[in-house]
């Protein structure tokens, strides 16, 4: 929780767990003060993996210099329509990115899991639960 550890088998890889304050999870809107992100001591010049529950803040996670972000929170959009994707998220709007692997504008990548649970509405429509196994390979 808001700490970093070097990967025991490869000290060139750093894993950081980010726990955002509750105000970042307000229903219906995003909290827009990136200065209130937690301070975390992160070693430099390492491949940085950031475990961050809320993917909609990915654009402000730059502060942590993450190469790869693993996230969830949106449950794949709860309700999905073929050809459209997720149409309802915990913020009750169409999510910009709700599941899968994406590249962010700064060059880092984010993987968003659909997860196992539901949210306020205990329903998943055309949205299967998933457990993910990720394999990272060097360039």
For residues 91-113, one letter each, b for 16 or more C-beta atoms within 10 angstroms of the residue's C-beta and e for the rest, the string is beeebebbbeeeeeeeebebbbb
Evaluate if residue 50 carries a pLDDT over 70: yes
Of residues 114 and 15, more confidence is placed in: 15
- Confidence label for 13 from pLDDT (cuts 50, 70 and 90): very high
Take residue 100 and report the two structure tokens written for it. 């899968």
Supply the pLDDT for residue 36.
Answer: 79
Are 47 and 14 in contact by the 8 Å Cβ rule? The answer is yes
Evaluate if residue 103 carries a pLDDT over 70: yes
Supply the pLDDT for residue 83.
Answer: 73
CA nearest neighbour of 57 among 44, 48, 66: 66
Query: Collapsing DSSP states into helix, strand and coil, what is residue 18?
Result: strand
């Amino acid at each position: 929780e808001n700490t970093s550890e070097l990967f025991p088998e490869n000290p060139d890889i750093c894993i950081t767990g980010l726990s955002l304050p509750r105000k970042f999870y307000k229903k219906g809107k995003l909290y827009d003060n990136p200065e209130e992100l937690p301070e975390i001591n992160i070693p430099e010049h390492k491949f940085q993996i950031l475990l961050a529950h809320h993917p909609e803040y990915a654009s402000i996670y730059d502060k942590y210099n993450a190469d790869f972000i693993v996230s969830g929170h949106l449950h794949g959009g709860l309700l999905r329509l073929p050809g459209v994707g997720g149409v309802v998220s915990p913020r009750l709007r169409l999510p910009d990115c709700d599941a899968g692997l994406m590249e962010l504008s700064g060059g880092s990548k984010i993987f968003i899991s659909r997860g196992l649970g539901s949210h306020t509405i205990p329903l998943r429509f055309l949205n299967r639960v998933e457990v993910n196994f990720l394999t990272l390979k060097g360039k």
